Structures are given as structure tokens and as C-alpha cells.
């Protein structure tokens, strides 16, 4: 099971906007690659992206492609309607990435019921097409 949308609202909810310093993330998404900001000075990862590295204050960033592997750090299940764009129930997961220290990502699962989700469950990224323009990073069970 996965999140289901009411197509009527797609444009409202699937038209991301971003700042110049986040461009690498969204350009990556367009190419179906999950990329995170890594400081070229001290190696610190940041998500969501920032202008300067919080550790060394450098502005030199690389956009590093993630292995996409992570574990469930937290989640919630929406059981009462939040907005008619999203059919309930659906789950939100907060995934802690395995190879990018300190990076977590909010997303949906594509292949399991809310009841199957547990803390520290291993997951990996996949891309799901939500509009003609956008495929978004979502997660599936490892080996699932």
C-alpha cells in the first residue's frame, strides 16, 4: 500500500519551490537521484540544505549522491483527513540515512501498510512519479 492522491490537487501539492542554495537537491530529484549537501571543507552533511556549513562556516558544498539506504527513525500514520488531496490512512516516515551522518528525510513508504512499519526498520529509496514533471524520493522495505 502506498499514499494515494486526489489528482485535482496535484498542482497545489507537487510544485516545489526552492532557494538557490538548495538547487543541487532538486536538480538531483529531477534526474531521479537523491543528493545531499556535503561540506567540501570538513565533510559535514546537511539536509535540508543551507548557505554555510554549520561546523566550519565554509560555503563550499558538494552534492553527493546517496546510496539511498536508511532506517526508520520515526513515523506517523494519518488516519483522519488532513486535506482531500491525500486519502487516509497514509504513513509518513522520517528516515535516517545510513551513509550520510545527521541526514534525515521525510517521505512516504511505497510498499507496506502502516502496521508493518517499526523503529530502525531498514529501507531504501525509490522514485515514484507523482506528476508529469516530478518523481519524488520515497522508500521501500529492504529486500521488499
Report the interface residues with other proteins, using CB under 8 A.
Answer: 3, 9, 12-19, 22, 26, 47-48, 54, 73-80, 82-83, 85-86, 90, 92, 94, 102-108, 114, 119, 130, 134, 136, 138
Q: Is the dihedral of CA 67, 68, 72, 73 positive or negative?
A: positive
Nearer to other proteins, 19 or 65 (CB): 19
Nearer to other proteins, 69 or 143 (CB): 69
In the complex, what is the shortest distance from the CB of residue 75 to other proteins, in angstroms, rounded to a whole number?
Answer: 7
In the complex, what is the shortest distance from the CB of residue 116 to other proteins, in angstroms, rounded to a whole number?
Answer: 13
Nearer to other proteins, 58 or 101 (CB): 101
Nearer to other proteins, 31 or 76 (CB): 76
In the complex, what is the shortest distance from the CB of residue 60 to other proteins, in angstroms, rounded to a whole number?
Answer: 20
In the complex, what is the shortest distance from the CB of residue 112 to other proteins, in angstroms, rounded to a whole number?
Answer: 15
In the complex, what is the shortest distance from the CB of residue 91 to other proteins, in angstroms, rounded to a whole number?
Answer: 9
123-132 long-range contacts, Cβ below 8 Å, gap at least 24? 123/69, 123/70, 123/71, 123/72, 123/93, 123/95, 124/68, 124/69, 124/70, 125/34, 125/66, 125/68, 125/69, 125/70, 126/68, 127/32, 128/2, 130/5, 130/10, 130/14, 131/10, 131/11, 131/14, 131/15
Nearer to other proteins, 92 or 141 (CB): 92
Amino acid at each position: 500500500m502506498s499514499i494515494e492522491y486526489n489528482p485535482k490537487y496535484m498542482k497545489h501539492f507537487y510544485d516545489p519551490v526552492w532557494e538557490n542554495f538548495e538547487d543541487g537537491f532538486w536538480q538531483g530529484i529531477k534526474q531521479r537521484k537523491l543528493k545531499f549537501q556535503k561540506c567540501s571543507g570538513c565533510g559535514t552533511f546537511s539536509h535540508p540544505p543551507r548557505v554555510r556549513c554549520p561546523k566550519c562556516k565554509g560555503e563550499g558544498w558538494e552534492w553527493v549522491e546517496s546510496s539511498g539506504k536508511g532506517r526508520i527513525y520515526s513515523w506517523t500514520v494519518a488516519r483522519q483527513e488532513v486535506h482531500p488531496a491525500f486519502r487516509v490512512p497514509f504513513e509518513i516516515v522520517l528516515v535516517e540515512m545510513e551513509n550520510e551522518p545527521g541526514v534525515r528525510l521525510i517521505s512516504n513508504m511505497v510498499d507496506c501498510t502502516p502496521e508493518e512499519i517499526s523503529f530502525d526498520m531498514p529501507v531504501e529509496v525509490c522514485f515514484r512519479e507523482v506528476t508529469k514533471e516530478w518523481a519524488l524520493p520515497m522508500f521501500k522495505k529492504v529486500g521488499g
